[in-house]
């Protein structure tokens, strides 16, 4: 697995971001599922209604965009949320779904899982990584 961090973030260091991603992926998938993927996280100001989003060109390369203006806690939860979508993509659980055009965004099973799991994943990380 290769993790790359782009952009500036005054709230979460690159090292902590990489540790966070590894921790979350360990909760979500078997090592055999995530060891061959590449994840790039880009921190920047996002000028739309999303706090973060995922892009992928294939089942190996994933690009997570996070709004760096949010609190550290919110950024960490959004990373968890987007990694749930990575898991869904790898396991072919997403069907044909576009959050931009889907009117039932909040009720879509992919979003229900991502919002629900991200809360627990964040709590587990904070509970085991006390500064």
pLDDT tens, per residue, the chain with 131 residues: 999 999 999 999 999 999 999 999 999 999 999 999 999 999 999 877 778 999 998 889 999 999 999 999 999 999 999 999 999 999 988 766 666 555 677 777 888 899 999 999 999 999 987 65
| 5 closest CA partner among 51, 65, 45 | 65
Is residue 49 helix, strand or coil? Answer: coil
List, in order, residues 6 or more apart from 121 with CB less than 8 Å away.
24, 27, 28, 80, 83, 84
* Phi, psi for 111 (deg, rounded to 5): -75, -35
Rounded-to-integer distance, Cα 40 and Cα 36, Å: 14
Report how far apart the first and last C-alpha atoms of the chain are (Å, whole number).
26
How confident is the model at residue 102, as a pLDDT?
Answer: 56
How confident is the model at residue 91, as a pLDDT?
Answer: 92
Per-residue b/e over 61-76, b at no fewer than 16 CB within 10 Å?
ebbbbbbbebeeebbb
pTM of the full structure: 0.90
Q: Which CATH architecture has domain 2-128?
A: 3-Layer(aba) Sandwich (3.40)
Cα angle 34-118-36, degrees, rounded to a multiple of 5: 5
Query: Residue 105, Cα to own-chain centre: how many angstroms?
Result: 17
């Amino acid at each position: 697995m290769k993790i790359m961090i782009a952009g500036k973030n005054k709230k979460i260091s690159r090292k902590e971001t990489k540790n966070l991603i590894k921790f979350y992926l360990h909760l979500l998938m078997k090592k055999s599922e995530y060891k061959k993927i590449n994840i790039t996280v880009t921190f920047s100001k996002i000028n739309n209604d999303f706090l973060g989003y995922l892009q992928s060109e294939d089942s190996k390369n994933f690009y997570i965009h996070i709004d760096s203006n949010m609190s550290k806690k919110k950024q960490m939860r959004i990373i968890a949320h987007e990694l749930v979508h990575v898991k869904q993509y790898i396991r072919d659980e997403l069907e044909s779904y576009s959050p931009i055009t889907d009117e039932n965004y909040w009720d879509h099973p992919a979003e229900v899982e991502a919002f629900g799991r991200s809360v627990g994943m964040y709590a587990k990380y904070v509970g085991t990584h006390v500064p």
